[in-house]
A and B are shown apart, each in its own frame.
Chain A
Amino acid sequence: MPELKSEDNILLGIAVILISFASFLMLGTAGLRVILGIVFIMFLPFYLLLHNSSLSQQEKIAFSFFISIALFPSLVYWLGFAVSFRISIIAVFLLLLILPYIISKISKKHGKSLESS
């Protein structure tokens, strides 16, 4: 799995904590839960997916956030016809968490990265 110990990630973590706290102060538990849901369930898998690319840290954060708000609900919505919507959220989240690991294995095996193709 990608390493998450860079200074940028620490700053990102502090930003998330501050925004979550502000959201809690303004809108209570519901506000806090929504921010945490967006960050950890929607954004994080896509961030890990882009982590192996040669994009800059800021690019990874920006692109993965914007892509996640389009693709995560898409996947959950369509799977939501086969299983319950809540189960679909968990299934898509887990699937996306595994995907970066699989991609990393495949690209190592083939000795090439996504962006040089």
Chain B
Amino acid sequence: MKISFRKIEILLLVVLYLTTLYIWTLPIQKNKMPFGDVDSSSHFTIGDYISMYDKSIVEIPYPITFRYAGQNHIFPKYIWYPPQYWANLALAQVFGGERIVPAFLMVAIFSSLIILSSYFLIRSLFGFWPGFLSSFLLIFSTRDYMIYLWGQWPQSLSFAFTPLILYCFYHYYKNRKDNKNMPIYIYIASLLLSAQFLFHPQGMIASIGALVIFSLIMLAKNKKFPFSIKHLAVAFILFWIVSAAFAPFNIGNFFANLVAKQPANYRQSEGNNFQFDKLFKWYQGIKNDAGLPDFYFEYDKVHGSFQENIFSWWTLPFLLIGLFVLVYRRSENDFLMLSWFVSFYFLTRLIVFGFGQRDIRMFAYEAHVFYPIIAIGLISISSFFRQESLRKYLRFASIALFLILAIFVNGKSAYQTLNGMQYSIGRINPQQYEASEWIRSNLDEKADIYDIGTLGYQNFAAKVKWLGVLSQRHFIVNDNEINLTDYVFLDYTDALLLRNQDYVNSLQNFEKNFQSMTPVYNKNNIRVYKVAGIKI
């Protein structure tokens, strides 16, 4: 039986996606408790309310008003982001019939969607192998899986739309150039841009940046607009209608933020706004950033391995070769890739031009731009040789080398990190989850709870916020809210899991304050005391 290459291609694509699904769901395969830092719990909670109460909500629920009320400047009591990402998590809970695993599976699927969308674009522009190899490397992209683990999920999904938008615009342009009228591509691009707006505007800005640069290059090259004004106008109207219709309480806020002046104290420590040296340093010498760890700005770690060694740099030569090849060939597909790269460069150093609020976060999509170029660089090496048989041999040898390095350098590091997440003490443990369920069922909806003992409670950390959203009650994390305390949540579980006797002793000392009281909840080394009116 003869199997066509097309079928092999589809088979390899299925294997690629199954590998993705396996690697990206590692954190929830054995541990069914939630994970994520900073924003993750808030992205979970709106969908959780929707599915639990079986109705859509637009006002911020009481427990999280303390964190998010006012972030929507135009409608301060309303949700601070468009609801689509959260509604998807609600859909997952309804489909899956459970609270945690379905939502986290949806998050894993969405956070890894770039692997498929990138394949779609690169396959179309440069053929199967560059598409397959770059997507294969993306499975192990530290940038992407760390953002997934941290919890900036809507942003992650939004960036996954960019390759499709570039694809649409490129095919619209190519058809138009060949005198074929295919406006459907630009209309779909506008729908996808709306989708990016609905999930996170950063992705939309990344797409527009690449499209503007590509259009300018094509305009200069062909002395002709790469689009019809009529089609562009219709696409623009479509974008506005979809965005405004589905996020009426957020679209105004986005544009208000866009034109808002940068806070005076923003990055004051970095001196004036015009920091030209940043144009010449890829990672701008960023260290000790308040929101991102140092490794985020170290090439060998984010595009290689956390186990630093010489092999962690293996992608860099191919990246440089890939860039050289794109600049040397300068065909239209190469220009599209270069436009994406150049727009990335500018968007990650907007501070140089005085627009610095989000530029560091733009590094989030670095791998999406780099990995296709790395794959192009690798595949192109064989074309440097003239002898046909040698070319063929080299091509397959380089593909094999790529796969080996991707698996044993990037893959090994990614597997260890994602697999290790299953055992992280930073996650809610089953005892804490059970206690949060009890609180949700038994305490008043506007109860304010002060947590002592849960890991990180001293530093307003993620676990306390997770306890808040799981119990759907206000867990106090700001000092100025302490006088609201109705209940004290005394949690020994993390101290016991860490086997830290000093930690346990300090909690016991604190608990002596409640000797005369009977806890309203007392199970699994967690006690809840009603303390309304008592000063903490």
| Residues B92 and A34 in contact, CB atoms below 8 Å apart | yes
For the complex, give the distance between the alpha carbons of A31 and B355 in Å: 42
Q: Is the CB of B96 within 8 A of A18?
A: no
Cross-chain contact A36 with B95 (CB below 8 angstroms): yes
CA distance A115 to B98 in the complex (A): 41
- Which residue of A69, A71, A80, A89 contacts B110 across the interface (Cβ within 8 Å)? A69
CB distance from A91 to the nearest CB of B (A): 13
Specify which chain A residues have a CB less than 8 angstroms from the CB of B91 in the assembled complex: 37, 41-42, 72-73, 76, 89
Q: A34-B105, A70-B198 are in contact. Are A80 and B95 (CB under 8 A)?
A: no
Q: Check: B199 CB closer than 8 A to any chain A CB.
A: yes
> Quick one: closest B residue to A88, CB to CB?
B56
Stretch touching chain A among B47-55, B275-283, B302-310, B467-475:
B47-55
**Closest residue of A by beta carbon distance from B183:** A115
Whether a CB of chain A sits under 8 angstroms from the CB of B10 is yes
Query: Which residue of A is nearest B47, CB measured?
Result: A73
A positions within 8 Å CB-CB of B: 11, 14-15, 18-19, 22-23, 26-31, 33-34, 36-38, 41-42, 53-55, 58, 62-63, 66-67, 69-74, 76-78, 80-81, 84-86, 88-89, 114-117
Cα separation A70 to B198 with both chains bound (whole Å)? 7
B164 close to chain A: CB less than 8 A: yes
Complex: chain A residue closest to B158, CB-CB: A70
The residue of chain B having its C-beta at the shortest distance from the C-beta of A84 within the complex is B54
Binding site for A on B (CB under 8 A): 7, 10, 13-14, 17-18, 21-22, 25, 28-29, 50-51, 54-56, 58, 83-85, 87-88, 90-92, 94-98, 101-102, 105-106, 109-110, 113, 116-117, 120, 157, 160-161, 164, 181-184, 188, 191-192, 194-195, 198-199, 242, 245-246
Return the chain A residue nearest B28 by Cβ.
A27
Residues of B within 8 A of A86 (CB): 54, 94
Residues in B whose Cβ lies below 8 Å from that of A76:
87, 91
Contact A85 B110 (CB under 8 A): no
Interface of chain B, main secondary structure:
helix
Task: Assess A70 versus B55: contact at CB under 8 Å? Given A23-B21, A34-B102, A41-B95.
Answer: no
Residue in contact with B18 in the complex, picked from A18, A29, A71, CB distance below 8 Å: A18
Cβ-defined contact, B56 with A80, below 8 A? yes
Answer whether A85 and B101 are a contact pair too, CB < 8 Å, given A34-B106, A36-B95, A73-B91. Answer: no
Main secondary structure of the interface of A (DSSP, over half): helix
Would you call A30 and B97 a contact (CB within 8 A)?
yes
State whether A62 touches B164 (Cβ < 8 A): yes
Contacts A22-B18, A85-B56 given; indicate if A66 touches B192 (C-beta within 8 A).
Answer: yes
Interface centre among A29, A72, A80 (most CB of B within 10 A): A80
Contacts of A84 in B (CB 8 A): 54-55
A22–B120 contact, CB under 8 A? no
B102 lies within 8 A of A19 (CB): no
Closest CB-CB distance, A95 to chain B, in whole Å?
15
Q: Name the one of A18, A38, A74, A85 contacting B198, with C-beta atoms under 8 angstroms.
A: A74
In the assembled complex, the Cα of A28 lies from the Cα of B109 at a distance in Å of 16
Contacting pair B109 A38 (CB below 8 A):
yes
In the assembled complex, 30 residue pairs joining A and B whose CB atoms fall closer than 8 Å, in A order, are A26-B21, A27-B25, A30-B102, A33-B102, A36-B95, A37-B96, A42-B91, A54-B182, A54-B184, A62-B116, A62-B117, A62-B120, A67-B188, A67-B191, A69-B157, A70-B192, A70-B198, A73-B91, A74-B84, A74-B246, A77-B50, A80-B56, A85-B50, A85-B54, A85-B55, A85-B56, A88-B56, A89-B91, A115-B182, A115-B183
Residue of B nearest to A15 (CB): B14
Residue of A nearest to B109 (CB): A38
Closest residue of A by beta carbon distance from B195:
A70
Contacts of A28 in B (CB 8 A): 101
Taking each of B96, B164, B192, which has the highest tally of chain A beta carbons within 10 Å of its own beta carbon?
Answer: B96
Shortest beta-carbon distance, B304 to chain A, in Å? Answer: 27
A36 to B418, CA, bound (A): 25
Q: What 10 A-B pairs come out closest when comparing CB atoms?
A: A37-B95, A80-B56, A70-B195, A73-B87, A115-B184, A74-B246, A30-B96, A77-B87, A30-B101, A34-B96
- In the assembled complex, the Cα of A19 lies from the Cα of B25 at a distance in Å of 13
- Given A34-B105, A117-B183, does the pair A19, B18 have CB atoms closer than 8 Å? yes
Contacts A27-B28, A74-B198 given; indicate if A81 touches B84 (C-beta within 8 A). Answer: no
Inter-subunit contact A15/B195 (CB<8 Å): no
Residue contact A33 to B97, C-beta cutoff 8 Å: yes
The residue among A15, A69, A70, A89 with the most chain B CB atoms within 10 A of its own CB is A70
Q: How far is the CA of A51 from the CA of B349 in the complex (A)?
A: 42
Pair A31/B183 contact, Cβ less than 8 Å:
no
C-alpha gap A36/B94 in the complex (Å): 12
Closest residue to B26 on the A side, CB-wise? A26
Q: Measured between alpha carbons, how far is A31 from B109 in the docked complex, in Å?
A: 11
Q: Is the CB of A18 within 8 A of B14?
A: yes
